[in-house]
Structure 1
Amino acid sequence: MRQLRPRMAALLLAGLLPLLVGSAAGCGSGGDDVPPAAVEAPLPEAPATSDEPSPTTQAPAAVDVCALVTKKEAEELAGTKLDDAVPVRESCTYTAPASGPTAQVEVFVGDGAKKYLDIERELGHELRPLAGVGDETYVSFEAAFVNRSGLWVAVRLVRLNDPEENREPLERIAGTVAGRI
């Protein structure tokens, strides 16, 4: 648990609080369960810049985030049935029903996806480059990061399993996402 605290703090600072709070809903804390769609914290305002996209990201307005990973693909990745997608801003989350095993698939597009990758690097987490997929792709034990034409997409997998089991499925979903960007 101690290793997770710096990581959770970093994710919170990255403006991913709504997704983390949604992930925790129904985790048996004994408190009121709040569905992920009902929890939304304001994101920090971006500094004033020109209207041009940065060189590392594009505006994700033209991308249907939930179409990048379908419910069926999310269920295959998670190894269990999942609820319908919950889109929030530039993200999409599929969660397992409270009666099922713990599982969640999150998809982030644009600056949030790139920031997630940057945090993984800062924390020293192992990121393997995946050649031939998109312009730049990395896979860890819990996520895939794909850059194609300057647009970053991250797919995060939450499961209670041996993390090594997740690499190959994450590599496959990275290829699928790269083909849809």
Structure 2
Amino acid sequence: MPASTGARRRGAVRSEEARLAVLEATGRLFAARGYDHLTIEGIAAEASVSKQTIYRWWSSKSAVVADALIADMLLPDRPVVPDTGDIRADLIAWMQDLIDLVAQPGNDGLVRSLVAAACESPDIGARLNDALGITATVSTRIETAVAVGQLPADLPAMEFVRALVGGFVLHSLERTEPAPDAAERLVRALLH
């Protein structure tokens, strides 16, 4: 029956308070233990809700983590592209910060989790992209660098950003130890 006829959805009513408690608990547990040691059971206990409450809102741990990141309750100090006036150095520094973040104990599953959440739901993928602002922020920086002559005039900004982020994601999915100069090599390869 349509909602306008007064029909109610079956099952327990979703609680915004419980949803926020879960996101906050996810952020606290992630900060304390890292992604790899995060469990739905642990999140439920920390948030004082049942596992069923979590599964009413999210389909998986990846989806909870993605929403916590989107809600700014996870990685409050996430890396941003610096703006020193040297786009190459700034991109290398940003990429190195991302690599270092993922290399921290317990965080290696984070990128895989976000990729999985985005694959499960196009909505989550779009919301992650919007919340993280990577595509918009980095492409704007690239366009500015092109405008001031730091990068070639024919450099396609959006494709460059996708290749840069894709290189980082691929590295994370491969689960290999990064070379000490991995960030520099990736940026240099894309700019040649």
For normalisation by structure 2, the TM-score amounts to: 0.25
Q: Which has the higher strand share?
A: 1
